Amino acid sequence: MKIRHRGIDNILSVVLLVSTLVWFRNSINVPQENDHIETAILYSSSVMQSGVHRMADVVTSVWDRYFWLVNVEQQNEKLLQENLHINEQILLMNNQKNDIAQLEKLLSFKQSISEKTIGARVLYSSLNTHFTVVQIAIEYDAELSHQIDVGFPVLSSDGIIGKIYKVYGNYSEVLLATDPRFSIDVFVERTGDRGILMGQGKDHAYISTMKYLENDKDIRKGDRLITTGVGTLFPKNIAVGEVIDVRIQEDTLFQEILVEPFAKFSLLDRVIVVIP
């Protein structure tokens, strides 16, 4: 910036010097010109030169300010990119931490089951609009895939998921516990009263119904339902869900009981398949 400033000063000084020399030469040729004019011109030249110097200072300051701002903007952009990279690394580490926690939880749950099990990874979920049910596909070790069959229970560390619905190669489809075609024998943990849990197949709602519990039975919102292990391939004492609503049916012998499963179907990543 100082070099540019010095260059402007030099150019303007040369211009003023040349102008003064030209006037001086002319004044020699015309001696009758008044000395007052010479004084005025010299004074005007000095004032102009001073103004030019000040203007050069202003221009230089503006340029310096501009390049400083450009440099600051570039530094801010660099810092922003570095911050985004750090945030991405933190998010990745948190995801890895959550994955490890989920695997540890699933492993602990798996060890609590006496039956043989196989770990599986959830590949995708899709909505069947005709039956209004959600299905998931799972993939497992190719060496173990021949052991999987239709009807085998599928569990998560939170509770029951459903049962194997179709098998093809290393992949299977799972019928969820909220599907109307799914049913399982359960009991109320607090009272021991038994009933049949059946899916409702609601659009965008994972809700089941506990059926065949008489109106005089004591069941409340918040009661936990557990598998009985009777008449099914599902192990005993597996968490099923929580009662969210109880309605007395005066025109029938049984209560209407709505149940919300413990399993988080929309967040499934790893599950286990029980080999009876």
Q: Are residues 251 and 235 in the same domain?
A: yes
Q: Specify the pLDDT at position 79.
A: 76
> Does 276 map to a domain?
no
Q: Are residues 190 and 254 in the same domain?
A: yes
Q: Are residues 133 and 68 in the same domain?
A: no
Q: Are residues 149 and 188 in the same domain?
A: no
Q: Cα–Cα distances in Å, from 110 out to 138, 170, 188, 259, 266?
A: 17, 21, 23, 24, 21
Give the integer Cα–Cα distance in Å for 269 and 71: 47
> Does 94 map to a domain?
no
Give the integer Cα–Cα distance in Å for 235 and 161: 13
Q: Are residues 74 and 140 in the same domain?
A: no
> Does 271 map to a domain?
no
> Does 54 map to a domain?
yes
> Does 91 map to a domain?
no
Domain count, the chain: 3
Name, in order, each residue with C-beta under 8 angstroms of 264's C-beta and a sequence gap of 6 or more. Answer: 156, 158
Q: Are residues 163 and 141 in the same domain?
A: yes
Q: Specify the pLDDT at position 86.
A: 78
Q: Specify the pLDDT at position 184.
A: 94
Q: Specify the pLDDT at position 5.
A: 47
What's 192's domain CATH number? 2.40.10.350
Give the integer Cα–Cα distance in Å for 183 and 151: 12
Q: Are residues 169 and 187 in the same domain?
A: no
> Does 14 map to a domain?
yes
Question: What is the sign of the dihedral through the CA atoms of 173, 179, 181 and 187?
Answer: positive
For strand 153-156 and strand 159-168, is the pairing parallel, antiparallel, or unpaired? Answer: antiparallel
Q: Are residues 14 and 39 in the same domain?
A: yes
Q: Which of 24, 56, 82 is the last residue of a domain?
A: 82
Q: Are residues 158 and 227 in the same domain?
A: no
> Does 164 map to a domain?
yes
Q: Are residues 69 and 18 in the same domain?
A: yes
Q: Are residues 59 and 15 in the same domain?
A: yes
> Does 171 map to a domain?
yes
| Structural domain of 56 | 2-82
Q: Are residues 67 and 130 in the same domain?
A: no
Ordered per-residue pLDDT tens for the chain, 276 residues: 444 445 555 555 555 555 555 544 555 554 444 455 555 555 555 555 565 566 656 666 666 677 677 777 777 777 777 777 777 777 767 655 666 666 667 677 777 788 888 888 888 776 555 454 556 677 666 677 778 889 999 998 889 999 998 888 778 888 889 888 899 999 999 999 999 999 887 766 788 999 999 998 999 999 999 999 988 899 999 999 999 999 987 888 899 999 999 988 877 888 889 988
